[in-house]
């Protein structure tokens, strides 16, 4: 079984790359370094933190890479794809924590079991936390507030997550650090992209700058997607280097065109 399929576990490094892009390396962006420092401090303080921002800028990868280094065996991940009820949340936690047996059918028993499991030191990552309702946030706060638990919580998600946490004074006041993740500026793109993938290692910086200006806009998922198309294009055309013509061909794959009438 791959690490990705083991519920609640941190994904392996390869699974963090967009479409498991072959040859891609994790690079030390400012986002990654800032998130790692925040998570380190949060674990020391057993705090709640929130890493938020728009899609594709590297939030999940930064959180996962940091925790593979800082808390590889004590991290448990829950990822939300639709709005869960508190009952769903209890079940997600049960599975993410790898608790034995069947989930209890009564809420009181369930809460006792979860609180007991959280007496051991744990880091809980709630990814895509913008899907959590106020009640779910409240439930996590209840677990975290319990003086017997030893819990660090990392909320990661789109801006809805930030807004939800900010709108609840009980939660907002408990969040130890907020980290907003934005696009990489051009100087950072020029520094990290050559190390990200071998196709960029020897590329002309002007070509990288053109690609960022015209298509990637400092968004790491866009960089990974373009790189994926380019590796296919290089193979298909027997080229050894990326040039402007190939780059424009890759862009043509990214833009959605209106259907012809």
Cβ-proximal residue to ligand ATP, closest one: 58
- How many residues touch ligand ATP under the rule CB under 6 A: the total is 19
Output the smallest distance, CB 57 to ligand ATP, in A.
Answer: 5
Among 8, 9, 10, 32, binds ligand ATP (CB under 6 A): 32
If binding is defined by CB under 6 A, does position 158 make contact with ligand ATP?
A: yes
Nearby residues of 213 by Cβ (< 8 Å), 6 or more positions away? 186
d(CA 95, CA 93): 5
Nearest Cα residue to 58 out of 100, 24, 87: 24
Among 35, 42, 50, 60, binds ligand ATP (CB under 6 A): 60
Binding segment for ligand ATP (CB under 6 A), chosen from 25-33, 143-151, 230-238, 242-250, is 25-33
Taking CA 65 as the corner, what is the angle to CA 59 and CA 68, rounded to the nearest 5 degrees? Answer: 140
> How far is CA 236 from its chain centroid?
32
Nearby residues of 84 by Cβ (< 8 Å), 6 or more positions away? 92, 131, 132, 133, 136
Q: Which residues in 2-21 contact ligand ATP (CB under 6 A)? A: 16-18
CB 203 within 8 A of CB 239: no
Among 29, 60, 152, 231, binds Mg ion (CB under 5 A): 60
Residue 196 touches which member of Mg ion, ligand ATP, none, C-beta under 5-8 Å by kind: ligand ATP
If binding is defined by CB under 6 A, does position 229 make contact with ligand ATP?
A: no
d(CA 163, CA 134): 11
Nearby residues of 151 by Cβ (< 8 Å), 6 or more positions away? 46, 118, 122, 123, 124, 143, 144
Site string for ligand ATP, 198-227 (x = CB under 6 A): ----------------------xx--x---
Output the smallest distance, CB 172 to Mg ion, in A.
Answer: 22
Output the smallest distance, CB 157 to Mg ion, in A.
Answer: 7
**Residues contributing to the site for ligand ATP (CB under 6 A):** 16-18, 26-27, 29, 32, 55-61, 158, 196, 220-221, 224
């Amino acid at each position: 079984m791959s690490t990705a399929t083991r519920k609640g576990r941190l994904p392996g490094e390869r699974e963090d790359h967009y479409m498991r892009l072959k040859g891609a390396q994790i690079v030390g962006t400012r986002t990654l370094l800032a998130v790692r420092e925040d998570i380190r401090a949060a674990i020391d303080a057993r705090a709640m933190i929130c890493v938020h921002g728009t899609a594709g800028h590297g939030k999940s990868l930064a959180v996962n890479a940091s925790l593979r280094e800082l808390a590889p065996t004590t991290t448990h991940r829950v990822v939300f794809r639709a709005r869960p009820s508190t009952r769903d949340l209890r079940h997600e936690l049960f599975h993410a924590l790898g608790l034995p047996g069947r989930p209890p059918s009564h809420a009181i028993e369930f809460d006792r079991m979860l609180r007991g499991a959280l007496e051991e030191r744990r880091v809980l990552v709630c990814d895509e936390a913008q899907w959590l309702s106020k009640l779910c946030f409240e439930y996590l706060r209840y677990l975290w507030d319990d003086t017997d638990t030893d819990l660090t919580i990392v909320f990661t998600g789109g801006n809805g997550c930030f807004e939800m946490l900010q709108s609840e004074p009980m939660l907002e006041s408990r969040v130890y650090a907020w980290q907003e993740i934005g696009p990489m500026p051009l100087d950072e793109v020029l520094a990290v992209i050559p190390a990200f993938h071998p196709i960029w290692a020897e590329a002309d910086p002007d070509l990288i700058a053109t690609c960022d200006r015209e298509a990637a806009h400092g968004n790491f998922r866009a960089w990974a997607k373009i790189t994926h198309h380019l590796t296919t294009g290089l193979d298909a055309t027997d080229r050894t280097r990326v040039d402007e013509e190939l780059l424009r061909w890759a862009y043509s794959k990214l833009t959605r065109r209106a259907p012809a009438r």
